[in-house]
Structure 1
Amino acid sequence: MLRGMKQIVIFGAKSIALGACLAVKKVCPEYEVSGFMVSSLSGNASCLCGLPVAEVDCFTDKNVCILIATPEDVQGSIETMLKGKGFQNIVCLDSEKESALMGKYFRSIGRFPALRNDIAEVYMAKFHRDKPLKNNYRIPDWVRPIQVGAALADKRIAETADDLGENISAKNVNYCELTALYWIWKNKLQEEKGAPYLGLFHYRRFLELTDDDLLHMKNENVDVVLPYPTVHEPDIREHHSRYIAESDWEAMLRALKELEPGYAGRFEEILRQPYLYNYNIVVAKREILKDYCKWLFPILERTEELSTPKGNERADRYIGYLGENLLTLFFMYHGNEWNIKHVGRKMLI
């Protein structure tokens, strides 16, 4: 929402501004609210939420990021006024952004539950060194950020982190977003109750799913939703030859033959076709996703042991790349027995 700015000033000093301040402090720890800006102190407090309230002419730093948190019908005139005074980094908290922000805030404090779907719970992997998005996007309330590699970072960028509970957060340098999938497996899929579908996105890569699509998935008894596959020539070996060292590929094949010989017998056939499920993003029924994780992670762990150098001696993301090929194998292996549907993959920029 704030285009990567770390310190912000909130324009306004009434209820909308106060709510925005509380919410940003609670659910957006990567940002720091330094104070409130108003056109005039007349009728406004001099301090709000423990922070100073000052008139616009008191702010000399024209590069400060300003979040306009006022009634929406006056935001345009306020933005014009601020630009006339030389401020350029301005974001208007319109009703859609405010609803999304306050929904996250009230959910985080356990108050005022929202009327929202209970069909899917999808986690969006975020890393503390991710580059800021250039554009603003509304993230559905069923998509929940999870910080990956949290065990390796000094700061928190999401309320949920992959170093909580049973985890392999410290392996993120090799597993990438798969440390979030492991966390989902060990900490969410073990629960008896919960949304019927769970899944994983990245902070830049989403499946193009709407609330209506989720209802359709439930009504049509869809088992799995995957992105349309990427196409490779002459076959998907073209992909792994670019991203995976041959010795690591051989280690993975050996692990697969040891642990899952039935799947290993089909792998060569699947490798000879041009379609690859890329990016490790998927939404599936709870039991299917659980079965996939129970299948996937022992293979990856054994691959680490067989790799040269071993997984704990390196940091080059190779396990994440291997995971894409194993996801392709697993879901194509079961393609005729499960109701698998496909949607577009949205790249956030």
Structure 2
Amino acid sequence: MKIEILVAAHKEFPMPNADGYMPILVGAVKNYKPGINYQRDDEGKNISSKNPNYNELTAVYWAWKNLKDIDGIGLVHYRRLFFDSKPYSLKNVLSVKKIEKLLTTYDVIVPKKRNYYIETNYSHYIHAHHKKPLNKTRDIIAENYPQYLSNFDKVMHRRKAHMFNMFIMKKKAFYSYCNFIFGVLSKLENEIDISNYSVQEARVYGYVSELLMDVWLETNNIKYIEIPWGQIGSKHVVKKAISFINRKFGIGNRKTHF
């Protein structure tokens, strides 16, 4: 089984030295600097120029359009990865051998769900971001993908979700996922005006896509397994917790990334 795990990064950073891991420079059309020897997301058919709005999804799009001779495709981030065991370090990333074993039983590997406890997925989103894009997403699904609408509403009313745009999928599942999310997001681009959004809020299509993962998984009855994930480096846990509470009650700014 040939598997490629894309490690998305916008700059040079220590990378896993393990079989199957492919560092990919996202937004390479702007972010490339001489000496960065990663796969670039601006080669072949690509949407690299949309990285400020699509985040790591420009790497997903590149893989969808350009990786053909492959059995499994995954996406992790340069600081946020799947791990075999603790301590969470680049030496303990999930091995291809274990991935192959898991994919003999499951179609998709995802991180454990994030629990928002005091908020639904919908309320958490609109307290952190502009609400129009998410509301428009529902309209788009209702009109163009009606079979997904019931699960979209269920996901919005829950307090947990598979977040971060992290996954490993068999090729067939990956193609299904890409057809759905890029279909929805391309239509969303035509429905909203983000010209006055802040740099953070302009990443809107990446944010919306996180909530589409469970919608896709459940509508297609995808057989998946959750795997531990971890973050390398500082997590800013206290700052994130304070910001989460403040957003809930409309206090301060809407910063979501530290």
Q: Is the 8 A contact 1:304 1:310 kept in 2?
A: no
Distance in 1, Cα, partners of 2:230 & 2:17: 12
| Greater Rg over alpha carbons, structure | 1
Match status 1:127 vs 2:127? no
For residue 254 of structure 1, the aligned residue among 130, 134, 139 is 139
For residue 173 of structure 1, the aligned residue among 52, 62, 71 is 52
Distance in 1, Cα, partners of 2:98 & 2:24: 23
Q: CA deviation at 1:141?
A: 2.2
User: In the alignment, which residue of structure 2 is the partner of 1:144?
Assistant: 22
Q: CA deviation at 1:159?
A: 3.1
Quick one: which amino acid aligns to residue 332 of structure 1?
Answer: E
Quick one: which amino acid aligns to residue 148 of structure 1?
Answer: V
Distance in 2, Cα, partners of 1:300 & 1:281: 18
Q: After the TM superposition, which residues 1-12 of structure 1 pair with which residues of structure 2 at under 5 Å, given as runs? A: none
Which ranges of structure 2 fall in alignment gaps of 5 or more residues?
84-93, 234-258
Distance in 2, Cα, partners of 1:165 & 1:314: 30
TM-score (structure 1 length as normaliser): 0.58
Q: CA deviation at 1:304?
A: 1.1
Q: CA deviation at 1:338?
A: 2.8
TM-score (structure 2 length as normaliser): 0.78
Quick one: which amino acid aligns to residue 166 of structure 2?
Answer: I
Q: After the TM superposition, which residues 260-271 of structure 1 pair with which residues of structure 2 at under 5 Å, given as runs? A: 260-271=145-156
For residue 163 of structure 2, the aligned residue among 268, 274, 278 is 278
Q: Is the 8 A contact 2:8 2:26 kept in 1?
A: yes
Q: CA deviation at 1:266?
A: 2.4
Aligned residues: 219
Q: Is the 8 A contact 2:19 2:96 kept in 1?
A: no
User: In the alignment, which residue of structure 1 is the partner of 2:37?
Assistant: 158
Report % sequence identity. Answer: 26
Distance in 1, Cα, partners of 2:181 & 2:119: 26
Q: CA deviation at 1:240?
A: 1.0
Q: Give the secondary-structure state (helix, strand or coil) at the position aligned to 1:166.
A: coil
Distance in 2, Cα, partners of 1:171 & 1:127: 13
Q: Is the 8 A contact 2:155 2:161 kept in 1?
A: no
Q: Is the 8 A contact 2:152 2:212 kept in 1?
A: no
1:16-39 per-position Cα deviation (integer Å, ceiling 9, x unaligned): xxxxxxxxxxxxxxxxxxxxxxxx
Match status 1:299 vs 2:184? yes
Distance in 1, Cα, partners of 2:143 & 2:162: 24
User: In the alignment, which residue of structure 2 is the partner of 1:52?
Assistant: none
Larger RCO (CA within 8 A; separation ≥ 6): 2
Q: Give the secondary-structure state (helix, strand or coil) at the position aligned to 1:306.
A: coil
1:127-160 per-position Cα deviation (integer Å, ceiling 9, x unaligned): 03x7x56xxx743221100100011235152331
User: In the alignment, which residue of structure 1 is the partner of 2:172?
Assistant: 287
Q: CA deviation at 1:268?
A: 1.1
Q: CA deviation at 1:243?
A: 3.1
1:261-303 per-position Cα deviation (integer Å, ceiling 9, x unaligned): 1112321122222211111011010010011101110210111
Q: After the TM superposition, which residues 1-349 of structure 1 pair with which residues of structure 2 at under 5 Å, given as runs? A: 118-128=1-11, 138-156=16-34, 157-188=36-67, 191=68, 193-194=69-70, 196-208=71-83, 209-218=94-103, 220-232=104-116, 233-309=118-194, 315=199, 316-334=202-220, 337-349=221-233
